[in-house]
Homo-oligomer: A and B are copies of this chain.
C-alpha cells in the first residue's frame, strides 16, 4: 500500500482512501483501538497500531543450535519488499524459466505479462506444469533461477 507518511497539513489533492486512512488513524489515537477494518463501497481499508509489547515470551526456542534446518529453496531470504502481486508456487517441483535451455524465458524481468500467460514451468513427477501469471502487469521481480527447486507457497515472481 503506497502510503508515504505526509506532513500534518494534508493537501487537498489527496485521494479519498488516503484521507480515510488519516481519519481512521486519528480515531485509533483517540480511542485507543489497535485495529480498524473497514469495507466501504468496494474499498477495504485496515489500519492497525502495534502495542509496545514488552513481554518477550520466548516464542521460538533455539532448537537449531547444531543442525540448522536448511530450507531447500531460498524463498525466505529472497522476499525483499517489492510491492505487487506475488506469484506463489502452487506445488513442489523444479522451476524452469524457459521452455528449453536454448530458448528465451517465458517472460523477461521488466516485461509486461498478461493474466493467464505462462510465465514458468514447474516439473513434478516428470510432468511439466505450466504456471500462469495471476494478473496482467509488469514483471518486477523474479526470485528464482532456472532449474531451481521450489517448494509450496514460495514467492516465485512479483507482478505489478
Contacts and interface: CB of A to CB of B under 8 A. Distances in A.
Interface of A: 7, 14, 17-18, 21-40, 42-57
Nearest to A31: B25
User: Which of A7, A22, A49 neighbours the largest number of chain B CB atoms within 10 Å of its CB?
Assistant: A49
Contacts of A24: 18, 21
A48 B35 contact: yes
Contacts of A51: 50, 52-53
Contact of A49 (B18, B25, B29, B33): B33
Nearest to A32: B49
A31 B49 CA distance: 9
A25 B27 contact: yes
Copy number in this complex? 2
A49 B34 contact: yes
B27 A32 contact: no
A43 B40 contact: yes
Given A32-B49, A36-B48, 11 more contacts: A21-B24, A21-B36, A22-B27, A28-B31, A29-B32, A34-B50, A35-B48, A36-B46, A37-B47, A51-B53, A53-B53
B36 A31 contact: no
Given A51-B50, A55-B54, A56-B55, A33 B38 contact: no
A7 B30 contact: yes
Nearest to A55: B55
